[in-house]
Copies of this chain bind each other. A is one copy, B any other.
Amino acid sequence: MVKVAVLGHGTVGSGVVELFTKNAKSITSRAGQEMEVKKILDIREFPDLPYADKFTKDFNDILNDSEISIVAEVMGGLSPAFEFTKALLESGKSVVTSNKELVAAKGAELLAIAKEHNVNYFFEASVGGGIPIIRPMHQCLAANEITEVAGILNGTTNYILTKMFHESVPFDEALSEAQRLGYAERNPAADIEGHDACRKICILSSLAFGSHVYPQTVHTEGITKLTLVDVEYAASWGGVIKLIGRAKKQPDGKIIAAVYPAFLSSHSQLANIDDVFNGILIRGNATGDVVFYGRGAGKLPTASAVVADMIDISKSNCTSKSLTWKDSNADNVADYKSEALSFFICADLAEGAQKTVSDVFGEVEMLSRAGQPEGEIAFVTPAMSEYELEEKLGVLSNLMKVKSMIRVLDY
């Protein structure tokens, strides 16, 4: 019998407790022994729940309970989640979490503490909700040099972009709809400004490339500036716009890491991932592209990833010494502007200046849309660094007022 505890009885936490009841039989069978939730930490009271007697408001009740060997931290936020996790690992308990903010900010430190105390710190649920991604990436792709990771990592923004793309709903309206449906928070900044996707790509790239990529080193743009005009041009180009978090290892070993909206060809395996779904692409030197797709959030999907981590710890006496990465200062991250990409540009153009654009940019792919106003130009550039793009746009600044610049990615 393995006894576990849950920190936080919110959406994910209550899902974890629910799964231990609902899927008890298969959990016992997979773990090779029974598992029981012994204590739940929450400052609120839940007197009507059948398991009301398991609740405590005192973290020390869990920390000092020697019967509890595994704890799920599903509180979210940095503090006190960090202090609690640290204390638990130091006391010899393994911790699993769905807290992407904490893993992105403190992963290297907590993994080192776990290793030192011969316990595990697992975080499958921190990326992609119920999609198995951390463990497959670590384990099954072990024989592979991972060269690139990219994904649709945030369900809220993907829902908004899907509404904009398939139903021509403007951004503000699509956001309101997402809030009405409970897909977006009342304060949606973490989603729509790209911070949530940023935390997830930090975790994925730290694991893929072995050194901690911190959120503040990752260039992050959200989707708030996207318009239906951009969407129309993306369609006329033969693609879609998705918010992509990506990390790519350069030949010099440094990592290009960024979050921004991007044009993707409609043939891309990420292009048809719609609504609140997530999809993550791992590019390896042996496997080629492998894509994982599923519900990136939600009570039971996320809880199932938390419980799977707990089962994994319970059935193994060995700690996973290799599911880890080194700490870093910012010098593992390369300047994202140095990467050569194509760019979508939409601009107001002075009369007769189109030839100058071609002269400056070389062979561009011109795009058009229904009802395109006189003087609006839209095109996709050849591949160049972002510095080169800025220089060329500078040359044209008297002739062209840029309304949109969106990067074009090749997945």
Contact = CB atoms under 8 A, between A and B. Distances in A.
A321 interface: yes
Given A145-B23, A269-B272, A139 B294 contact: no
A143 B295 CA distance: 15
B139 A290 contact: no
A111 to B, nearest CB: 15
A295 B300 contact: no
Nearest to A321: B32
Interface stretch (A44-52, A129-137, A186-194, A353-361): A129-137
B131 A139 contact: no
A221 B295 CA distance: 32
Contact of A286 (B135, B143, B300, B322): B300
A143 B19 CA distance: 7
Interface hub of A135, A139, A140, A303 (most chain B Cβ within 10 A): A140
Given A23-B143, A142-B27, A142-B307, A287 B291 contact: no
Contacts of A318: 316-318
Interface hub of A27, A286, A293 (most chain B Cβ within 10 A): A286
A-side interface mostly: mixed
Interface string A106-140: 00000000000000000010000111100110111
Total copies of the chain: 2
A356 to B, nearest CB: 40
A336 interface: no
A29 interface: yes
Q: How large is the interface on A (under 10, 10 to 19, 20 to 34, 35 or more residues)?
A: 35 or more
Given A269-B272, A316-B316, A130 B292 contact: no
Given A132-B136, A287-B304, A291-B294, A27 B143 contact: yes
A208 B301 CA distance: 18
Given A19-B143, A141-B308, A142-B311, A287 B130 contact: yes
A365 to B, nearest CB: 23
A304 B174 CA distance: 43
Contacts of A269: 272, 293
A292 B310 CA distance: 23
Given A23-B285, A26-B144, 18 more contacts: A19-B143, A22-B285, A22-B286, A23-B143, A23-B286, A26-B142, A131-B287, A132-B136, A136-B140, A141-B308, A143-B303, A143-B306, A284-B304, A287-B300, A287-B301, A290-B292, A291-B291, A318-B318
Interface of A: 15, 19, 22-23, 26-27, 29-32, 124, 129-132, 135-136, 138-145, 210, 269, 272, 284-295, 298, 300-301, 303-308, 310-312, 315-318, 321-322
